[in-house]
Amino acid sequence: MERKLIPYKVIEVVDSVEENIPEGIKLIHAEELWEDANHGEGVVIAVIDTGIDRNHPDLKDRIIDGKDFTDSGDYQDDNGHGTHVSGTILATMNQFGVVGVAPRASVLALKALKGDGTGDVQWINQAIDYAINWKGPDGEKVSVISMSLGGPEEEEEHQLIKKAVQQNILVVCAAGNSGDGRDNTDELDYPGAYPEVVQVGAVDLEKNLADFSNTNDEIDLVAPGVEIFSTYPGGKFAKLSGTSMATPHVSGAAALIKNIAEKEFERKLTEAELYAQLCKSTEDLGISKKAQGNGVLNLTSLHKTAEKEIMITIESKSLGLSAQTVSISYK
């Protein structure tokens, strides 16, 4: 069985950038969490894709490890998609380049798709299994798996994803680009449509649902996926469109949220807890849940939720109630 990249569109490729922070990063307000989240430092994200440009100045310092599953020899990107996705997640702060959502996180680059964007499902499965069991030089483990690929259901893949979730790895996947502009019809691509994953749809930079974005009742949230600027092989930069471009915004955001929440809770989060915090970090667009899930990614919502919970606790105490009597969650 074959897996392939979720179809995407290359808008333009350029040699340099005029602005370091891409519009998609601004739309989700990532920079407002950087200081509190230590820019995602210490979080390892496994990107299962076409590899990565190992020499790109905005990415080379973020690569903690990598492996090729396609028999091509190494995990160097010979397509462009994996480099673009990785840049949105964690491109480092560089005076002449772009910055990602979590610019101090680390990427485990797992090449499971060939230069033409296709690959055997067994390569994907091997990469998922590798990510689950991988340990870094200082004992690091993968916290997030990011995949922007699709195809039909496959049982072994599904079981491996369940295993990853059981081991507290958040699995973030693209919804797919087969949308017909109607939310009353379902379009399903896997692994995105498995209930255990975080399935990400796409909006444009005006927060309008992209007409290509799949809709179904497993959509968890949406993120910027139209004309997204990021890194590209050869030290270049490119503007691409697709739910593939929305997914890495969420994968990077998970790194920021994880660092902030674990600092507040003073312990490690479970996958379910990280998912809950991610769902809180959304803004309702007033459209069908089958199109937007919980809403568009908006990282300022996380701080607003915390402020509301603090106010509720203070008010409850002023009424002579214990803090345990109040348990309210906002999205």
Give the residue ranges of DSSP H helices in the chain: 23-27, 81-90, 121-133, 155-166, 243-265, 271-280, 289-292, 300-318
Structure-block tokens of residue 194 = 């498995």
Among 86, 213, 244, 281, which one carries the catalytic annotation?
Answer: 244
Which one from 49, 65, 78, 204 is the annotated catalytic residue?
A: 49
Residue 84 a catalytic site member: no
Q: Which of 207, 210, 124, 219 is nearest to 175 (CA)?
A: 219
Long-range own/partner contacts, residues 129-136 (CB < 8 A, 24 or more apart): 129/160, 130/67, 130/69, 131/46, 131/48, 131/164, 131/169, 132/160, 132/163, 132/164, 132/167, 132/169, 134/46, 134/65, 134/108, 136/44, 136/64, 136/65, 136/106
- Reduce the secondary structure of 282-298 to three states and give it as a string: EECCCCCHHHHCCCEEC
**Could you identify the residue written with the tokens 């739910």?**
243
For residue 236, CA distances in Å to 23, 56, 76, 87, 128 come to: 18, 8, 15, 11, 29
Please answer whether residues 77 and 216 qualify as being in contact, where contact means their C-beta atoms are separated by less than 8 angstroms: no
Backbone phi and psi for residue 132, each to the nearest 5 degrees, phi listed first: -60, -40
Question: Is 244 among the residues known to form the active site?
Answer: yes
Instruction: Clarify whether 49 is annotated catalytic.
Output: yes
Pairing of strands 106-111, 44-49: parallel
Q: Residues 81, 106, 146, 220: which is the catalytic one?
A: 81
What residues are annotated to the active site? 49, 81, 244
